């Protein structure tokens, strides 16, 4: 979740405010006022955004657009005024805050006021179209199904026709978004260039305490570490799908059709675990069935997540969390069900927004979203510009790292498993396979979304090839192909929330790697020894203390400092991920002998 850093700054005009020779003290006073105004006035924007997401109407979209327009205009004014401190010798805090003011933005305002208003209107409209999207059949006169209903089909069905129908039905939502997105790219790039960036992608890549070019090289390096494991998993999964659907539908040496992987976007493959389970029936971990049979509701599932964090010695959630969060899908209105978490008033006003179902995937997502909330709780006393993660990936990785310690023993305590499965090689491989179908399968998808958008923002991909370039990249990087013919009338990127919502996605790629470094650091803090995959730190107060110390920094230090505080390391590295999955990788390589891997 991106923490906004925009607000209406009540500052005098530049001609009256800027002294001839600004001093370091002037800069400190300026940034203090920026912090105060940002914290006070961003509440208006975040409140409007919360209402827009939980009550989708034309009025709520318009109100959110107005709030965002004011914020974009003011941010541009603040950045212009901040330029007068270029060349002034500043203390480290002031210099860092001025830099964060510039780079911690998902979009920047064009100088042209009419273009700025158009940009904010488009952003609100695109997210609204996504949230209200439905499939009502080819002629629009059938029984309408929203994303939640269509996902149930894709997640659970094994009928190729039903899967294809649900997949194409949802992806049609992108057609409405496409013309808006084309215009958004023009306006967003205009805003980035007016504020000194080459394009919007360069702005996003500048938010990691390194140059955009260095950041791109770093993501390439990290992917090169993890790709061999992904390739092994892809080969094994394709063979499993061939057993189920036949080689006519899943041929050798070709990308896997996207609708067969148990996820609307083929981004995580956990739902097809029964089709590829290495040792059927050994140490079965069917948590979804237990949740359904025991009739777990949303509140009980979130309470379990809270219990995990309090077991580490962290605080309970505030009482307002339970009255202000949206935990189930309302029947009386449209909402954006995509899970998110926030501190809406930046004062420990913690909430999650999620249409929770009694499914294992949602239970894990709850732990992830609560990770955001506990991060926000830890840095709530920082100056406003520091009220975010050390970098975007940190926020995403925290909850995932903690969820890795949701072990069978923990699930037994929760009543979601009957017993801890016996520790043997078959049980281990089954457990690692299930985890890899979530975490390893996701890596090229998560990397690819922004690689595509970076090319769009840089003008290397034009509207004439939006769709074809999207699938060319996904096929090359992920080994996944569209299950039906696609033309440039389609806009499948728009069927993924983060594209119309303009949320950068590389954070999720890095987080899937970074979480294993966090996990290893927490395991070491808890005194665990032995193989990394066998570690659990639930209940460790020392692990909780180390975690809290890192979270409390917020963005006050460069992210390598925060990483070092927890792990002793200063570089994001795939080594911990590979260490964790080492048993599965050895097993996959044996299984794939003699198969035609690759695509």
Using CA atoms, how far apart are residues 421 and 282, in angstroms rounded to an integer? 8
Residue 407 in contact with residue 65, Cβ under 8 Å?
A: no
Using CA atoms, how far apart are residues 205 and 447, in angstroms rounded to an integer? 13
Looking at the DSSP assignment, which residues form a beta bridge with residue 340? 353
Which residue, among 404, 398, 353, 410, has the nearest Cα to 371 in the 3D structure?
A: 398
Residue 358 in contact with residue 293, Cβ under 8 Å?
A: no
Using CA atoms, how far apart are residues 176 and 187, in angstroms rounded to an integer? 18
Handedness of CA 190, 196, 197, 203 (dihedral sign): negative
Using CA atoms, how far apart are residues 551 and 250, in angstroms rounded to an integer? 45
Using CA atoms, how far apart are residues 395 and 404, in angstroms rounded to an integer? 16
- CB neighbours of 220 closer than 8 A, spacing ≥ 6? none
- CB neighbours of 326 closer than 8 A, spacing ≥ 6? 54, 335, 351, 352, 353, 354, 355
Q: Identify the DSSP state of 50.
A: H
Q: Which two tokens stand for residue 548?
A: 């809290």
Using CA atoms, how far apart are residues 332 and 54, in angstroms rounded to an integer? 11
Residue 515 in contact with residue 440, Cβ under 8 Å?
A: no
Q: Up-side HSE of residue 63: CA atoms within 13 Å toward CB?
A: 16
Residue 471 in contact with residue 482, Cβ under 8 Å?
A: yes
Q: Active-site positions?
A: 338-339, 368-369, 372, 396, 498, 508
Quickly list H helices, 207-324.
Answer: 212-245, 273-276, 287-293, 298-311, 319-324
How many other C-beta atoms are found inside a 10 Å radius of the C-beta of residue 235? 20
Using CA atoms, how far apart are residues 411 and 305, in angstroms rounded to an integer? 11
Contacts of 245-248 with C-beta under 8 Å, sequence gap 24+, read 245/160
């Amino acid at each position: 979740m991106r923490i906004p850093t925009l607000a209406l700054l009540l500052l005098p005009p530049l001609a009256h405010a800027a002294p001839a020779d600004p001093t370091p003290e002037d800069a400190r006073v300026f940034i203090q006022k920026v912090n105060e105004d940002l914290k006070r006035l961003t509440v208006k924007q975040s409140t409007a955004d919360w209402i827009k997401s939980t009550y989708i109407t034309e009025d709520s979209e318009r109100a959110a657009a107005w709030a965002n327009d004011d914020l974009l205009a003011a941010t541009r004014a603040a950045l212009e005024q901040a330029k007068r401190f270029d060349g002034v010798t500043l203390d480290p805090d002031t210099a860092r805050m001025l830099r964060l003011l510039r780079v911690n933005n998902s979009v920047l305002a064009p100088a042209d006021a009419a273009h700025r208003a158009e940009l904010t209107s488009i952003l609100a409209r695109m997210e609204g179209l996504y949230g209200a999207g439905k499939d009502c059949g080819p002629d629009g006169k059938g029984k309408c199904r929203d994303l939640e209903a269509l996902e149930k089909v894709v997640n659970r069905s094994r009928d190729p026709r039903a899967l294809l129908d649900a997949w194409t039905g949802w992806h049609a939502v992108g057609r409405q978004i496409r013309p808006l997105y084309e215009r958004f790219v023009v306006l967003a790039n205009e805003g980035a260039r007016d504020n000194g960036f080459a394009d919007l992608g360069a702005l996003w890549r500048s938010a990691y305490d390194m140059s955009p070019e260095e950041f791109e090289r770093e993501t390439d390096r990290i992917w090169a570490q993890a790709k061999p494991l992904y390739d092994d998993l892809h080969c094994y999964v394709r063979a499993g799908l061939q057993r189920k659907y036949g080689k006519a539908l899943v041929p050798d040496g070709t990308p896997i059709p996207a609708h067969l992987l148990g996820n609307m976007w083929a981004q995580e493959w956990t739902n097809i675990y029964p089709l590829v389970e290495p040792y059927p029936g050994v140490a079965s971990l069917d948590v979804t069935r237990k949740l359904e049979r025991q009739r777990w509701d949303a509140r009980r599932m979130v309470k379990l997540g809270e219990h995990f964090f309090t077991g580490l010695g962290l605080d309970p959630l505030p009482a307002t969390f339970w009255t202000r969060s949206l935990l189930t899908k309302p029947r009386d209105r449209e909402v954006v069900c995509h899970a998110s978490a926030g501190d809406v008033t930046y004062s420990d006003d913690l909430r999650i927004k999620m249409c929770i179902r009694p499914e294992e995937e949602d239970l894990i997502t709850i732990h992830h979203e609560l990770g955001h909330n506990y991060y926000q709780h830890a840095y709530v006393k920082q100056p406003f510009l520091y009220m975010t993660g050390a970098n975007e990936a940190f926020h995403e990785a925290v909850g995932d790292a903690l969820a890795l310690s949701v072990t069978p023993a923990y699930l037994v305590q929760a009543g979601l498993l009957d017993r801890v499965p016996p520790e043997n090689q078959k049980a281990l491989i089954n457990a690692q396979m299930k985890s890899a179908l979530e975490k390893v399968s996701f890596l090229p998808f998560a990397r690819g979304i922004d690689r595509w958008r970076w090319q769009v923002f840089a003008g290397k991909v034009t509207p004439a090839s939006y769709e074809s370039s999207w699938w060319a990249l996904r096929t090359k990087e992920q080994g996944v192909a569209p299950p039906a013919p696609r033309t440039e009338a389609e806009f499948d990127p728009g069927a993924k929330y983060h594209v119309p919502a303009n949320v950068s996605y590389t954070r999720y790629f890095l987080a899937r790697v970074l979480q294993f470094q966090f996990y290893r650091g927490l395991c070491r803090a808890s005194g665990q020894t032995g193989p990394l995959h066998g570690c659990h730190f639930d209940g460790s107060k020392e692990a909780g203390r180390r975690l809290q110390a890192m979270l409390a920094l917020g963005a006050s230090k460069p992210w390598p400092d925060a990483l070092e505080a927890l792990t002793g390391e200063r570089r994001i590295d795939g080594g911990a991920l590979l260490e964790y999955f080492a048993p599965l990788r050895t097993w996959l390589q044996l299984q794939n002998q003699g198969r035609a891997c690759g695509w």
